[in-house]
Amino acid sequence: MYDIRGLNEECGVFGIWNHPHAATLTYMALHSLQHRGQEGAGIVCSNGESLFGARGMGLLTEAISDAQLESLQGFQNAIGHVRYATTGASEIANVQPFLFKHSKGDLGLAHNGNLTNAVQIRHALESEGSVFQTTSDSEVLAHLLIRGKSPNIKTNQKAALNQVKGAFSCVMLNTNQLAAVRDNNGVRPLMLGEVDGAYCVASETCAFQAIGATYIRDIEPGELITFSGENDIDYDYYSTNINHNMCSMEYVYFARPDSEFHKHSIYNVRKALGKKLASEMGIEADIVIGVPDSSLQAAKGFSEYTGIPNEQGLLKNRYIGRTFITPDQSVREKQVRMKHSPIRDVIEGKRVVVIDDSIVRGTTSKYIVKALKSAGAKEVHMGISSPPLVDPCYYGIDVSTHAELMAAQHTVEEMKEMIGADSLTYLSVEGMHEVFREFDSKGECDACFTGNYPIEIVDHQLPEVKELKRRGV
Amino acid sequence: MYDIRGLNEECGVFGIWNHPHAATLTYMALHSLQHRGQEGAGIVCSNGESLFGARGMGLLTEAISDAQLESLQGFQNAIGHVRYATTGASEIANVQPFLFKHSKGDLGLAHNGNLTNAVQIRHALESEGSVFQTTSDSEVLAHLLIRGKSPNIKTNQKAALNQVKGAFSCVMLNTNQLAAVRDNNGVRPLMLGEVDGAYCVASETCAFQAIGATYIRDIEPGELITFSGENDIDYDYYSTNINHNMCSMEYVYFARPDSEFHKHSIYNVRKALGKKLASEMGIEADIVIGVPDSSLQAAKGFSEYTGIPNEQGLLKNRYIGRTFITPDQSVREKQVRMKHSPIRDVIEGKRVVVIDDSIVRGTTSKYIVKALKSAGAKEVHMGISSPPLVDPCYYGIDVSTHAELMAAQHTVEEMKEMIGADSLTYLSVEGMHEVFREFDSKGECDACFTGNYPIEIVDHQLPEVKELKRRGV
Amino acid sequence: MYDIRGLNEECGVFGIWNHPHAATLTYMALHSLQHRGQEGAGIVCSNGESLFGARGMGLLTEAISDAQLESLQGFQNAIGHVRYATTGASEIANVQPFLFKHSKGDLGLAHNGNLTNAVQIRHALESEGSVFQTTSDSEVLAHLLIRGKSPNIKTNQKAALNQVKGAFSCVMLNTNQLAAVRDNNGVRPLMLGEVDGAYCVASETCAFQAIGATYIRDIEPGELITFSGENDIDYDYYSTNINHNMCSMEYVYFARPDSEFHKHSIYNVRKALGKKLASEMGIEADIVIGVPDSSLQAAKGFSEYTGIPNEQGLLKNRYIGRTFITPDQSVREKQVRMKHSPIRDVIEGKRVVVIDDSIVRGTTSKYIVKALKSAGAKEVHMGISSPPLVDPCYYGIDVSTHAELMAAQHTVEEMKEMIGADSLTYLSVEGMHEVFREFDSKGECDACFTGNYPIEIVDHQLPEVKELKRRGV
Amino acid sequence: MYDIRGLNEECGVFGIWNHPHAATLTYMALHSLQHRGQEGAGIVCSNGESLFGARGMGLLTEAISDAQLESLQGFQNAIGHVRYATTGASEIANVQPFLFKHSKGDLGLAHNGNLTNAVQIRHALESEGSVFQTTSDSEVLAHLLIRGKSPNIKTNQKAALNQVKGAFSCVMLNTNQLAAVRDNNGVRPLMLGEVDGAYCVASETCAFQAIGATYIRDIEPGELITFSGENDIDYDYYSTNINHNMCSMEYVYFARPDSEFHKHSIYNVRKALGKKLASEMGIEADIVIGVPDSSLQAAKGFSEYTGIPNEQGLLKNRYIGRTFITPDQSVREKQVRMKHSPIRDVIEGKRVVVIDDSIVRGTTSKYIVKALKSAGAKEVHMGISSPPLVDPCYYGIDVSTHAELMAAQHTVEEMKEMIGADSLTYLSVEGMHEVFREFDSKGECDACFTGNYPIEIVDHQLPEVKELKRRGV
């Protein structure tokens, strides 16, 4: 029996068609998308006849050696992938892009998101003789793509895409075509760009900036864009059943602040979330600080709305690497100090508002309140620039069980006590949506805040998956 | 289009059922089989429910870390594989045992040999929707095994095995069964043993010695033995069409001298090959030396037959590792000296017979004759303890084209000149077979010496494979 | 002839006496001091009888393995060092702490700073028979310490310290004593702390925060503090000739913002530098942004003084690792984009003030102005929160020749043109000193801004050093 | 207090003067000397002005990367060193050649052997102010060399060499001279050669063979040869007090069989040792086998003398690397099988003579007898081709205490019982010397067999060394 670890990943993808430095630009683009995944990275290239790839574990610079990158020079087409560091056993077999060998032509696939009916389809494929080497949902999609019977590759792609449910922003490299597709709910971002006359796609626009590409526009939910020939681009949709369920957490936490959705920078969205939180929170304080790096903008917005001065009262150590293991409890307690440190004479004697983007298990929040108080803060009020995380995500984010979520187990009042803060305020769900709409979003998934899942979670109705969950796997 | 590199591999396999230290014994056994493959190694274990594996590139000690081996403790069943270092690009994806995930149960597969109709079957499977991640023929066999429709696993195994042609000695680990099979021509060896009351199988008996196991007997061509339950063993055949075509080169070169086939040590077989060569060669000389390590026994046999003293006149450097690359020709010429060195005062002034097991490209032979002459040898007569290599092997040995084979391009007389020897004598094909029969062999493949291929090379009739060959790929 | 590369290093030191987790706390402290040096790291421990050490190249987590750290458990006394990544060849032999073996007792030494008469002393020692294994000035100090003839270790320490000139903050571990000393000009910082009843010293107070230690006070210029016995502390001075020449660049750039000098956080000092710059600059603009990370505070101070809104308009990629080398010019030009990226809709259409702490070669400044303009900035005014860097430092900072310094070669007006900014303003030398004095500094070295070197550069008068300089070594 | 671990090392050295590929040839030579040391390796080169080096831990191919070797191209003069893998903690600081920096000129030093008055000299030097970074006796010699006051470098070398006692074969690289010296007792070998018109020296002649050099002659005890200018060679002696105490174990065990001492191959010396043993042993048996690899020649000689057939009845696994650690006793017992394995049908039913070169702790001997008996040997008679090892070596071999030596603790009869052999016979001391003399040796050290130490062990009279020994350090 295979497990369902594939359900909880967050990744970054990139693709480029007909550029003389395809592999190098893909490498640079993946470097800028590294925040979306640090477990592994890979590049698959094509020379129009065959596909070749390199992939490895760890950060991009560890995963792909200079010699490997060198070996991919001279190919005009490429896709790339960075993979999220999920906890537990990680295996090279799971690192993407996947590369499949077929007499009709090779296929490279890089996928961000999560399919919600992968187990169901896999059952069906296995009963027809298919054989799988990983537990990844992406391998299921690849099988569907390759099994297509039509001589027309796009016909096969549409057929395959219409069978899968869930969240997916994918790039698919064939010998004579590159395709980019975003699921018809538009959960994960996917962007279209152009560099030196060649088209490219990326999970975020920061990748365009990294390679000097122009950001053309967001790829729409259900849209299937294919590149072929010298510069031929074909705009199409694989589905007419379009919804707008962009992941709220992409806005709140995942995306890089200099990335843009709908031509608006995430930087400004996060400032606006901070302003909205300020408008709902109504607090008196001396300074407001953000937890670095992801909450600095919300803190700035909070400050602008309230007039409370914004200070950089917490520092993050830039050299966090693997930490050593010590059996001594007194040393372990000191270890948490290695990540964040407060600036005493900014904090001392002040009523502090500290802004964070979310609370998952509450461990960091507890440490931060304690650190601020021991640095002399008179009061510590915590503001969260998103609503309480109460439900798991099945669309590609690694928060999979209620048990892990502090807000799923406790009231906000209880959480405040546990964290040790003088007050704890979350942004409202309505407030959050209002902000997104100001920035031209057409609709967002808020399932992790509300339990309203916009896409059916088919696999979770399967008896064996229920059994796995019952057993706590 | 996939290539056909899979055609030329030599490997070692091991399997053990229901032993408390299954993974550790597999590790030790693979260590003793390391001479059969240095490119990669892996172990797949089972706890009766799921399969888990570890594999890596390089020698066993590099491929599998202590931590990985530790993580495989507590499993009772295991298979392992060492993979041959073929030239050119090698990829982690090709390292075995393969591990396939399936809702009906996982499958681990380790394969030594080469299928001759893998491309044909692959075409058929692809047309039915199968998807492949490597170009390996072993992946084809795995697909056939998993696609079996019968609820009886052995029925499926027999059906799959009857579809493939070629050379294969395989171990297949299912959640509740371990199967060992040898192809019905018996090209590659496979041995049955027992340790601490648990059954085990291995490519060579040296693996049994390494783990303190008893060597029960050789597994027969076409035999399919399955282990299950606590100690249940089931002897069966997947085919009634049995032939005896044991690879001659296993006797001549591949197997370790302390390994036994049909209860006879390879050591004694090789001595007998040397004796037979001596009986055919008829030469006068002062000393006979063997090229270390594989030809020392043949030289000893030669000496015993002729009475010419046997000396260890050539030494092999034990610390050969990766060699550095130098652009300077004069330095490159010196580099070959790093591998073998003659002992001057053993050689000086002597008429020397030097015995080697085979000549592939002739490079080493040339160097050895030159080294012996420069150490003062009066005459150098080269004797080869097997017939001339004139045809490629399609059953698992890495000699794939006529162009690479000196004896396919030149007469023995020409070779003698090129090598610089005073004479060059090969063992006759008949002489070789006679020796094997003395040691209870029931028949051997001699295709690489005669072109008589006992198993049809199906794939080589396929148009695209012909095309690849035409283009010299 | 030895070279003089030792002249240009910046490092971090730590020491702790009589704590059960001495090595582990040293490791954690060095982790927090990693910004002071990334080329190598080491720890030397003592059990009261002998000294043992571990050191390696690279970041702390690479330099010292878990196994090495484990091997240092059980020792009560320790010193540690992180070493700056100077360009060019780096060698393990140069990584500190140095460990010297002597029959009178071992000596461990970790040094931050640079001696200005090391070559002169070395000549004298060599003529008396001393032998050196590195070109490091620190090895010279160690020789002086060990050659002391007095049975009283502090007498020898004082004698040695009085012979050397230059900048040094050192920790010296003997078998029965730990000594911490700061040169009598107080160029490099050195702080005294206490944790769990044990004394410790560190280059910066952020190390105290990392291990939960209390910051007692700054060690004074010329002060020599020794720790021995269980908790014995001895306050002394090795010199009565005290000057106050704290390195201005420690305030401006080197120290971590959460570190404190004279009980004031660098964070607040840098904000004040930004305010002072604003008071001198007098500019109209729409937004002010800081170059991350070191100039964010100055930008904030600038904003507070002028009322111009402060935005985080430039982002820094957190995953900068080694970069690959590409022969293609068009790709190389894209590569600089990988480090910093502007946020378009923050910048677009705005008159931007961008604050940086210093300009060395001008490369980064050029890129930043260009990036801001291409992101739509209407005007870009650059403000530098320190005076122009016109002279090299001989006291431990890696800016060694006039040729490297843009401001030593060009007027501010020329630099403005070269950088492409609409204006370029530096903080005045007087303004800078005023700010430091507000934060209780008693005097600073400003040699790199003025050429007024407070400590004699003895070695630069030596003929062979002049010759080296003439030849451009 | 420093320890005395430096007393027990065995190493290999090489030097070459004025060859365009000095570093590469040194690398190749060290590769052939790898059997003399596997702990670390290094090369120091000179361009006539300065010295540059590269060194590292492990085998040569691990210790020196291709890039490092590349960086040493273009230098004409070089020395190299391989270092023995002593047990326990090993440190990069101890890897040679040592490189010392001095204003009068750099010095590189590579040393094979052991000084017996290093501690005494070190005390004296320390009292004069010298500072040491290792506990190595070689560092002491370097200090003496550098402290020389004469403007004539050879005068200084002679003065230094006359101060040290013990065993040393050294190469010393100065900027304008390479010197090779062998101690006046001639304990360790040192050979003179020539390649492409350039002179070279090496611990063994196998290094000459590896680089295509001609073996000129053995360097004599007390001889000091210096190379300078283009091809100037100066033959001299540093001492007139010459003795001939070549280490017997070099003949018996250390040197490679293809190396030559006094123009005789070690191969033939070892055969003669086997013959002499046979003449003294007088045994009836069916076969004689040697323990691979070092005892194969002695077994061959034994066979020639007695007429008992020589078979290769024991195999050595060529892929021994690091072994894993297992807590399970039953697995540990199996592990010893991984190193040697008997060939059953060679051994079965036979009376076996097994020849080994020496017995240290007896562990291997016990396993071999057991393995041969379990392979069916009727009798196992063990013959040792050297006398019993009863005393430690102070001249460079890693056998340092009586407690480790089985023969120092037990009679031969007791040893026979412990090992499980049917008989155990050692070569006599006289017999051994007779053999060496047949091969033109002028005299040998037999201290480890007789306790007759030809060179005074000065340091062992020092109180602190006695104290260390008393405490069992």
Q: B25 and D268: CB-CB below 8 Å?
A: no
| Residue of C92, C93, C132 with shortest CB distance to D102 | C132
| Residue B467 in tokens | 């095309």
Residues of A in contact with C264 (CB under 8 A): 345
Q: How far is CA C189 from CA C81, C250, D26, D182, in A?
A: 14, 8, 47, 52
Residues of B in contact with D319 (CB under 8 A): 31, 34-35, 38, 59-61
Judged by a CB distance cut-off of 8 A, whether residue A5 touches chain C is no
What φ, ψ does residue C77 adopt, rounded to 5°?
-125, 140
Buried b (16+ CB within 10 A) or exposed e, A193-218: bbbbebbbbbbbbbbbbbbbbebbeb
Domain-ending residue, one of D194, D211, D245: D245
Tens digits of per-residue pLDDT, B287-301? 999 999 889 999 999
| Residue of A28, A263, A311 with shortest CB distance to C338 | A28
Tens digits of per-residue pLDDT, B301-342? 999 999 999 999 998 877 765 445 566 777 766 666 677 889
| Residue D469 in tokens | 């020994």
Judged by a CB distance cut-off of 8 A, whether residue C27 touches chain A is yes
Residue with tokens 């092997």: B393
Mutate one of B317, B322, B339 to test the D interface: name it (highest D CB count within 10 A).
B317
Mutate one of C106, C119, C133 to test the D interface: name it (highest D CB count within 10 A).
C133
Beta strand A379-384 pairing with A246-247:
unpaired
pLDDT of residue D68: 83
Is B446 marked as a binding-site residue? no
Judged by a CB distance cut-off of 8 A, whether residue A341 touches chain C is yes
Segments in chain C below pLDDT 70: 1-9, 85-92, 320-327, 332-337, 398-400, 462-473
Is B247 marked as a binding-site residue? yes
Q: What share of chain B is helix, strand, coil (3-state, %, to 5)?
A: 35, 25, 40
Chain-wide mean pLDDT for chain A? 89
Does residue C384 belong to any structural domain of this protein? yes
Q: Are residues B290 and B236 in the same domain?
A: no
Judged by a CB distance cut-off of 8 A, whether residue A146 touches chain B is yes
Judged by a CB distance cut-off of 8 A, whether residue B125 touches chain A is yes
Segments in chain D below pLDDT 50: 1-8, 86-90, 322-323, 468, 471-473
- Range B178-191 average pLDDT: 97
pLDDT of residue C428: 98
Residues of A in contact with C196 (CB under 8 A): 330
Q: A337 and C258: CB-CB below 8 Å?
A: no
Residues of C in contact with A39 (CB under 8 A): none
Residues of A in contact with B63 (CB under 8 A): none
Catalytic residue among D11, D45, D200, D206: D11
pLDDT of residue B320: 63
Q: Are residues C204 and C341 in the same domain?
A: no
pLDDT of residue A87: 37
- Please determine, for residue B161, whether its predicted confidence score (pLDDT) is greater than 60: yes
pLDDT of residue C91: 64
Q: How confident is the model at residue A360 (pLDDT cuts 50, 70, 90)?
A: confident
pTM for this structure?
0.83
Q: C98 and D133: CB-CB below 8 Å?
A: yes
Domain count within chain A: 2
Judged by a CB distance cut-off of 8 A, whether residue C2 touches chain D is yes
| Cα maximum dimension of chain A | 73
Alpha-carbon span B351 to C216, nearest angstrom = 87
Q: Are residues D128 and D195 in the same domain?
A: yes
Whether residue B405 contacts residue B392, with contact meaning beta carbons closer than 8 Å, is answered with yes
Whether residue A132 contacts residue A94, with contact meaning beta carbons closer than 8 Å, is answered with no
Show which of residues 45-74 on chain B sit within 8 Å of chain A, judged by CB atoms. Answer: 49-50
pLDDT of residue A322: 47
Q: Are residues C213 and C301 in the same domain?
A: no
Beta strand D351-356 pairing with D379-384:
parallel
Q: Are residues C226 and C192 in the same domain?
A: yes
Tell me how close the Cα of C338 comes to any Cα of chain A, in angstroms: 5
Which chains share 3+ C-beta pairs under 8 angstroms with B? A, D
H or E, element range at B83: strand B77-83
Structural domain for A405, as ranges: 268-453
Higher pLDDT, D466 or B352: B352
Contacts of B461 (CB under 8 A, 6+ apart): none
Q: Identify the closest residue of chain A to C439 by CA–CA distance.
A: A345
At residue A260, the 3 state secondary structure works out as strand
| Residue of D2, D50, D100 with shortest CB distance to C133 | D100
Alpha-carbon span C83 to C110, nearest angstrom = 10
Q: Are residues D178 and D301 in the same domain?
A: no
Does residue D253 belong to any structural domain of this protein? no
Query: 3-state SS of chain D?
Result: CCCCHHHCCCEEEEEECCCCCHHHHHHHHHHHCHHHCCCEEEEEEECCCCEEEEEEECCHHHHCCHHHHHHCCCCCEEEEEEECCCCCCCCHHHCCCEEEECCCCCEEEEEEEEECCHHHHHHHHHHCCCCECCCCHHHHHHHHHHHCCCCCHHHHHHHHHHHCCEEEEEEEEECCEEEEEECCCCCCCCEEEEECCEEEEECCCHHHHHHCCEEEEECCCCEEEEEECCCEEEEEECCCCCCCCEEHHHHHHHCCCCCEECCEEHHHHHHHHHHHHHHHHCCCCCEEEECCCCCHHHHHHHHHHHCCCECCCEEECCCCCCCCCCCCHHHHHHHHHHCEEECHHHHCCCEEEEEECCCCCCHHHHHHHHHHHHCCCCEEEEEECCCCCCCCCCCCCCCCCHHHCHHHHCCHHHHHHHHCCCEEEECCHHHHHHHHHHCCCCCEECHHHHCCCCCCCHHHHCHHHHHHHHCCC
| Residue C171 in tokens | 């920790």
Q: What is the CATH number of the domain that holds B11?
A: 3.60.20.10
Mutate one of C65, C259, C312, C439 to test the A interface: name it (highest A CB count within 10 A).
C312
Q: Are residues A55 and A130 in the same domain?
A: yes
Judged by a CB distance cut-off of 8 A, whether residue B325 touches chain D is yes
Q: D131 and C49: CB-CB below 8 Å?
A: no
What φ, ψ does residue C292 adopt, rounded to 5°?
-70, 150
Is C294 marked as a binding-site residue? yes
Tens digits of per-residue pLDDT, B224-233? 999 999 999 9
Q: Are residues C238 and C275 in the same domain?
A: no
Beta strand D423-426 pairing with D379-384:
parallel
Residues of B in contact with A135 (CB under 8 A): 101
- Please determine, for residue B278, whether its predicted confidence score (pLDDT) is greater than 50: yes
Residues of A in contact with B462 (CB under 8 A): none
Nearest to A207 by CA among A246, A158, A169, A163: A169
Does residue A458 belong to any structural domain of this protein? no
Type of residue at B455: I
At residue A397, the 3 state secondary structure works out as coil
pLDDT of residue B465: 57
User: What are residue B57's DSSP bridge partners?
Assistant: B40
Show which of residues 249-288 on chain B sit within 8 Å of chain D, judged by CB atoms. Answer: 256-258, 260, 263-265, 267-268
Q: B133 and A98: CB-CB below 8 Å?
A: yes
Tens digits of per-residue pLDDT, A156-204? 999 999 999 999 999 999 999 999 999 999 999 999 999 999 999 999 9
Whether residue B301 contacts residue B267, with contact meaning beta carbons closer than 8 Å, is answered with no
Tell me how close the Cα of B328 comes to any Cα of chain D, in angstroms: 9
Is D247 marked as a binding-site residue? yes
- Please determine, for residue B170, whether its predicted confidence score (pLDDT) is greater than 80: yes
Alpha-carbon span A70 to A58, nearest angstrom = 19
Alpha-carbon span C51 to B95, nearest angstrom = 47
Residues of B in contact with A50 (CB under 8 A): 1
| Residue D249 in tokens | 């174990």
Alpha-carbon span B292 to B299, nearest angstrom = 10
Nearest to B287 by CA among B379, B365, B202, B208: B379
Judged by a CB distance cut-off of 8 A, whether residue A335 touches chain C is yes
Q: Are residues B289 and B423 in the same domain?
A: yes
Q: E strands, B87-230, where?
A: 98-100, 107-115, 166-174, 177-182, 191-195, 198-202, 214-218, 223-228
Show which of residues 201-260 on chain A sit within 8 Å of chain C, judged by CB atoms. Answer: 206, 209-212, 256-258, 260
Q: What is the CATH number of the domain that holds A273?
A: 3.40.50.2020
- Range A288-306 average pLDDT: 95
pLDDT of residue D49: 83
Alpha-carbon span C133 to C96, nearest angstrom = 13
Does residue B36 belong to any structural domain of this protein? yes
Alpha-carbon span B43 to B22, nearest angstrom = 10
Show which of residues 344-383 on chain C sit within 8 Å of chain A, judged by CB atoms. Answer: 344-346
Is C445 marked as a binding-site residue? yes
Does residue D390 belong to any structural domain of this protein? yes
Contacts of C342 (CB under 8 A, 6+ apart): A258, C313, C314, C315, C371, C372, C374, C375
Alpha-carbon span B355 to B303, nearest angstrom = 10
Residue with tokens 């904030």: C300
Is C345 marked as a binding-site residue? no
Nearest to D62 by CA among D83, D86, D89: D83
Judged by a CB distance cut-off of 8 A, whether residue B322 touches chain D is yes
Does residue B195 belong to any structural domain of this protein? yes
Q: Identify the closest residue of chain C to A294 by CA–CA distance.
A: C315
Catalytic residue among B11, B45, B170, B206: B11
Alpha-carbon span A27 to A43, nearest angstrom = 8
Higher pLDDT, C40 or B266: B266
Nearest to B112 by CA among B1, B216, B254, B243: B254
| Residue C335 in tokens | 């590569």
Is C393 marked as a binding-site residue? yes
Chain-wide mean pLDDT for chain B? 89
Q: A147 and B129: CB-CB below 8 Å?
A: yes
pLDDT of residue A161: 97
pLDDT of residue C458: 87
Does residue D250 belong to any structural domain of this protein? no
Nearest to B190 by CA among B112, B242, B118: B112
Residues of C in contact with A331 (CB under 8 A): 21, 24-25, 28
Do chains C and B have 3 or more beta-carbon pairs under 8 angstroms? no
Across A38-42, B235-239, C94-98, D141-145, the highest mean pLDDT is recorded for: B235-239
Beta strand C246-247 pairing with C444-445:
parallel
Q: Are residues A164 and A301 in the same domain?
A: no
Q: Are residues D156 and D287 in the same domain?
A: no
pLDDT of residue B331: 72
Q: Are residues D210 and D297 in the same domain?
A: no
| Residue A382 in tokens | 């915590």
Does residue D470 belong to any structural domain of this protein? no
pLDDT of residue D465: 57
- Please determine, for residue B86, whether its predicted confidence score (pLDDT) is greater than 50: no
Type of residue at C370: K
Which chains share 3+ C-beta pairs under 8 angstroms with C? A, D
Residues of A in contact with C66 (CB under 8 A): 324-325
Q: A1 and B103: CB-CB below 8 Å?
A: yes
Q: Identify the closest residue of chain D to B24 by CA–CA distance.
A: D331
Nearest to A16 by CA among A188, A187, A197, A167: A197
